[in-house]
Structure 1
Amino acid sequence: MTTVLAPVEGAAVGLAAVPDPVFSAGLVGPGTAIDPLRGPGKAVAPIAGKIMKLHPHAYVIVGDDGKGVLVHLGIDTVQLKGRGFRLLAAEGDRVSAGQPVVAWDPAAVEAGGRSPVCPVVALDATNGAVTGLAEGAVHVGDELFRWD
């Protein structure tokens, strides 16, 4: 079993609250989303593993068991072309759970007319494999869900 930790502080709101049909319908995979606190912060690794993909607005970490977790910092943030994001790690790096990966400011994302809500998704997981979804307030490093 893999325990996925909250990469940002805020409120766990569920994927249905994500203003993007691909995420809200679970097409990327099961998981949840966090409506982040507004203000500068750091998004951390939700699991220990290797950073397989790293963009300023999103990253995928794959654990030693082969399970990959996607963290997407806001919706439509790819359009920002990296503005407002600062990489704190590199693609290919091995990270421990809780290690900072990207510095960003959800308030700036929102001020630019985009949702700062952060989907956290278990890639290629089957329905029912993700349990124990957190609800309400979460702090960085709190258990967000379990992946059997």
Structure 2
Amino acid sequence: MTTVTSPLAGRAVGLAAVPDPVFAGAMVGPGTAIDPVREPTEAVAPVDGVVVSMHPHAFVVVDADGHGVLTHLGIDTVQLNGEGFELLVAKGDTVTRGQAVIRWNPAEVEKAGKSPISPIVALEASPDALSGVVEAGDIAVDGDLFIWN
């Protein structure tokens, strides 16, 4: 069982509120999304594990049980070509829950015309594999987002 904690301070909005049909339709996987606070911040590891994918706008951490959790910082932020994102770890690094992974500013993302809403997705999971999923309106600050059974 894997408990996934929020990698961002903000308010949970649920995947259905993500302004991208692939995430909103849970095609990448089940999970939730965070509308982050609009200030310079750090996205942190949602689980203990190894960083298996690292981009300026997104990262995946896989835990000891093989559960991969994608944190995608904003929507269409790949189009920013890394501008405004500072990588604090590298692909292959072992991280602990709560460790800073990327420094970014959601307000700057918004000024660049992109949505800062950030999907947090359980990769290769079925919707019924998750329990206790935080839904729209819940505060996600330092809280558990979902449990992967």
Q: Place the TM-score, normalised by the shorter chain, in its bin.
A: over 0.9
Q: Which residue is 2:140 aligned to?
A: 138
Structural mapping, 1:104-143, within 5 Å = 104-135=104-135, 136-139=138-141, 141-143=142-144
Q: Which amino acid aligns with 1:20?
A: D
| Other-structure match for 2:81 | 81
CA distance in 1, matches of 2:60, 2:110: 23
Q: How many angstroms does 1:121 deviate by? A: 0.2
Q: Structure 1 vs Structure 2: percent identity of aligned residues? A: 58
Deviations 1:9-46 (A, max 9, x none): 00011000000000000000000000000010000000
How far is the alpha carbon of 1:134 from its aligned partner?
A: 1.8
Partner of 1:61: 61
Name the CA distance, whole Å, in 1 between partners of 2:123 and 2:19. 19
Aligned counterparts of 1:3 and 1:71: Cα–Cα separation in 2: 15
Measure, in 1, the Cα distance between the counterparts of 2:126 and 2:8. Answer: 24
For residues 42-84 of structure 1, the C-alpha deviation after alignment (integer angstroms, 9 at most, x for no partner) is 0000000000000010000001111100000000000001000
- Aligned residue pairs total 147
Query: Which whole-Å CA distance do the structure 1 matches of 2:29 and 2:105 have between them?
Result: 26
| Residue 2 (structure 2) aligns with | 2
Counterpart of 1:14 in structure 2 is: 14
> Once superposed, what is the RMSD of the aligned Cα atoms?
0.7
SS of 1:78's equivalent? helix
Moved >4 Å (runs of 4+):
none
Q: Could you tell me how far apart the structure 1 residues matched to 2:145 and 2:128 are?
A: 15
Measured after TM superposition, the shift of residue 137 of structure 1 is 1.3
- 1:138: how far off? 1.6
Which amino acid letter does the alignment assign opposite residue 83 of structure 1?
E
Paired position in structure 2 for 1:27: 27
**Cα distance in 2 for residues equivalent to 1:133 and 1:109:** 26
Give the gaps of 5 or more residues in structure 1: none
Q: What is the aligned partner in structure 2 of residue 40 from structure 1?
A: 40
Letter aligned with residue 12 of structure 1: A
Q: TM-score, normalised by structure 1?
A: 0.97
Unaligned runs of 5+ residues in structure 2 are none
